[in-house]
Structure 1
């Protein structure tokens, strides 16, 4: 089964690190991707740009609107994602627990669903 690891970063915690320490996390995440690839779990992973570069799009009552940035009321923001193949939820949780950025925020583990066309 496929799982998404949604990586939430506590920016205040991350900002306290030196540039060298931040770079170390980047390298550790790339090393982690390599481990997932070697074990056959890796499907894909990508970091996201900062929330300040996001635009939220809504279409309510036929009206399209955009808002700079996401709607956030938390210290953590979505900073990236990883898609893995795991036997079950327990294995997915174990894999997420090994992610280096788990120490700088949180990792939401969510099973992927299949969207299929339904005859109307």
Structure 2
């Protein structure tokens, strides 16, 4: 079964890291991705640009509304995601536990919904 592991945290915490801490976090994250890839579990893993570079889109009554970033009141931002193949939720949770950013934030584990007939 496929799962997406949504990695949330506070961007200000990442921005506060020293260059050495940031480089270590990047290296640890890439090493973990390579480990999952070697096990045949990784589908894709991506870090995301800061929220100040993002837009949110809504369509209401046929009209497009575009605003800057995510909702202003969010305390944690979506920092990245990892899509994996796991036997079940327990295995997906074990994989999520190994994500280095889990030490700084939260990892939401969500199964992929297979649309019937797709």
TM-score class, shorter? over 0.9
Q: Secondary structure at the residue paired with 2:28?
A: helix
Q: Secondary structure at the match of 1:109?
A: strand
Report how far residue 74 of structure 1 moved. Answer: 2.8
Q: Quote the residue 1:41 is aligned against.
A: 41
State yes or no: 1:104 paired with 2:104: yes
CA RMSD, Structure 1 to Structure 2 (Å): 1.4
1:84: which partner in 2? 84
Higher mean C-alpha deviation, range 69-78 or range 23-32 = 69-78
Q: Which residue of 1 aligns with 2:61?
A: 61
Q: Normalization by structure 1: what TM-score?
A: 0.91
Q: TM-score, normalised by structure 2?
A: 0.93
Match of 1:2 in 2: 2
Post-superposition shift, 1:117? 4.7
The one-character-per-residue Cα deviations of 1:47-91 (angstroms, maximum 9, x if unpaired) are 111100111111101211110111142321001111001111001
Q: Distance in 2 between matches of 1:88 and 1:114?
A: 15
CA–CA separation in structure 1 for the residues paired with 2:61 and 2:117: 25
What is the CA distance between 1:20 and its match in structure 2? 1.2
4+ runs deviating over 3 angstroms: none
Structure 2 segments unaligned to the other structure (5+ residues): none
8 Å contact from structure 2 (residues 11, 79) kept in 1: no
